[in-house]
Amino acid sequence: MSADLVCGLQWGDEGKGKAVDYISENYDVVARFNGGDNAGHTVVHQGNTYKFHVIPSGVLRGCLGVIGSGVVLNPDSLEEELHQLDGSERIVISKRAHLILPSYKLLDQKLEGLKGSKVGTTGRGIGPAYAFKAFRFGVRVGDLFQTGLEEKLSEARRLVESLNVEWIEPDVKHWKEILAPYVGDDYKVLHEAYLDGQRILFEAAQGFLLDLDFGTYPFVTSSYTFTNGVHAGSGFNAKKLGDIIGVSKAYTTRVGNGAFPSELSGDTADHIREQGAEFGTTTGRPRRVGWLDLVALRYAVRVSGCNKIFLTKVDVLSGLDQVGLVTAYEVDGESVSDWFDFSQGALERVKPVVKWCDGWENALVEGKLHKNLLTFMETVEGTVGAKIQWVSYGPSDHETLCML
C-alpha cells in the first residue's frame, strides 16, 4: 500500500504538472487537496498540450482524480477544463469543497486595492473563498444539492454587500449540471482505495514558499501547500504518507510580489525567462526569475519532510557559461545559511551569496547528464539534504531521467 505526495518547493510553477504526469504512471488515484483555479499545470501528454487548474493531471493516464475538501472550486472554470477531456476520465469532487462565488473575484480585486503593498494575486477569488469558509459564510459543493441553498446564498450575499461589493448571482442550475456527475466523499474514496491496496498520489498546488503559514507571508496564497494540507484538505490519514516528493526548478521563479533574494535582472534573466517560457499559465504575467536558492530550498525540504526531489528545467540553463547557486544570505554583515527565518522586511534586505558552477552547453551528452550538471546537482543534494531522483530536461514526458 502506498500514498505519496508531490509538492512544490518554491513559489509555485516548479513543473508539478509534468512531475505528477510522469510519476502517476505508478499510481491508481491522484488527489488535489488545496488551492483552486489559481493553479495552472501545463502537461504535454502523448503530443497534446493540456492546461489544468483543478483537475489532477493524472486522469490522463487513467487514474481516478479526486478533488478534495480543501480545494476551492469555480464550476465555470472546471467546465472549461472538462472540455479538454473525452469524458472517459473518472473524477470525484468533495461535497465539502467550497465554491468560489462570482462576487469573490470582485472582492479579491477590492482587497488588493486596500493593501499598501499588493500581494499580486491571480484574481481568481481564492483568498475570499477561504476567508468566507473561515467566517462560516461559505457555500459548499454539497449545498448545491441540499435544501437550504437559498438561505446560504443570502447569507453570503449579505456579507458581500456589507463589504460594498456587487453581488453577482451564481447560475446554480448550471453549476449543478456541471458538478452532479462527480460529487462524492473524498475521505471515503481515498480510505477505501488505500485499504484496497491502490496507490495514491497527492498533488499539491502552488509551492512551499506560498504556504499560508510557512511561506513568505503576507505574499502567499490562502491555503496549505505541502504535507500540512494533505490531512486537512482530503481527510486522508497523514500518518500513512510515504514519499514526500518535492519539485524544484534548477533556478527560481516567482509571480506576484514579495521578497526574492536570488532574483536576477538583465540578460541572464531574459535568457532564462525566454528559454523557460516563464509566463504565468493562469494570468500570462512574466515571471520574475533568479538562481536556485538553496537556503530557501533547504527550509522547504526540512519542513515538508521531502525525501526525494524532482528537478525540472535543467535544459533552460543550457548555454550559460556559469550557473549560480545561492548557498547563504548576508544579513547585516553576517553570513546566514542554516535556517530561513526572516520577516518579510529582513528578507528584502538580505544579499545572496552565490556559488558559481561551470555551465553546460547541453543538459544531455550521449544520453547522459553533462558532468557539470552532475556537479551542480551534487551541490544541491549535499546542501539541502535530499536526493534528486528525477531530472527533467524538456517539456515532454519522455524528456525525464530517473536517477535510480
Active-site position among 4, 28, 41, 186: 41
DSSP label of 259: -
243 is catalytic: no
Q: Using the rule CB under 6 A, is 222 a contact of ligand IMP?
A: yes
Q: Which stretch binds ligand IMP (CB under 6 A): 17-25, 219-227, 260-268, 356-364?
A: 219-227
**Minimum distance, C-beta of residue 289 to ligand IMP, in the bound complex (Å):** 13
13 is catalytic: yes
C-beta closer to ligand IMP: residue 259 or 377: 259
Contacting residue, 32, 105, 124, 308, with ligand IMP by CB under 6 A = 124
DSSP label of 145: G
- Strands 334-336 and 351-358, sheet pairing: unpaired
Contacting residue, 17, 58, 142, 256, with ligand IMP by CB under 6 A = 256
Where does 52-167 have alpha helices with state H?
75-83, 103-114, 126-135, 149-162
Q: Using the rule CB under 6 A, is 9 a contact of ligand IMP?
A: no
Residue for grid cell 437559498 = 150
Q: Using the rule CB under 6 A, is 221 a contact of ligand IMP?
A: yes
C-beta closer to ligand IMP: residue 110 or 240: 110
Residues in 17-56 that interact with ligand IMP by CB under 6 A: 38-40
State the Cα–Cα distance between residues 64 and 58, nearest whole angstrom.
8
CB atoms within 10 A of CB 280: 16
Q: Which of 101, 51, 95, 107 is nearest to 76 (CA)?
A: 101
CA distances from 326 to 247, 290, 316, 357, 388 (A): 18, 10, 18, 11, 18
C-beta closer to ligand IMP: residue 52 or 360: 52
Nearest residue to ligand IMP, by Cβ distance, number only: 256
| Ramachandran angles phi, psi of 184, nearest 5° | -160, -160
Q: Using the rule CB under 6 A, is 244 a contact of ligand IMP?
A: no
* 103 contact partners, CB below 8 Å, separation of at least 6: 156, 157, 160, 165, 166, 167, 168
C-beta closer to ligand IMP: residue 39 or 311: 39
State the Cα–Cα distance between residues 399 and 235, nearest whole angstrom.
34
Contacting residue, 6, 19, 126, 326, with ligand IMP by CB under 6 A = 126
Q: Which stretch binds ligand IMP (CB under 6 A): 23-31, 89-97, 113-121, 185-193?
A: 113-121
CB atoms within 10 A of CB 389: 17
Which residues are near ligand IMP by CB under 6 A?
11-13, 38-40, 119-122, 124, 126-127, 205-206, 210, 219, 221-222, 255-256
Give the residue numbers marked as catalytic: 13, 41
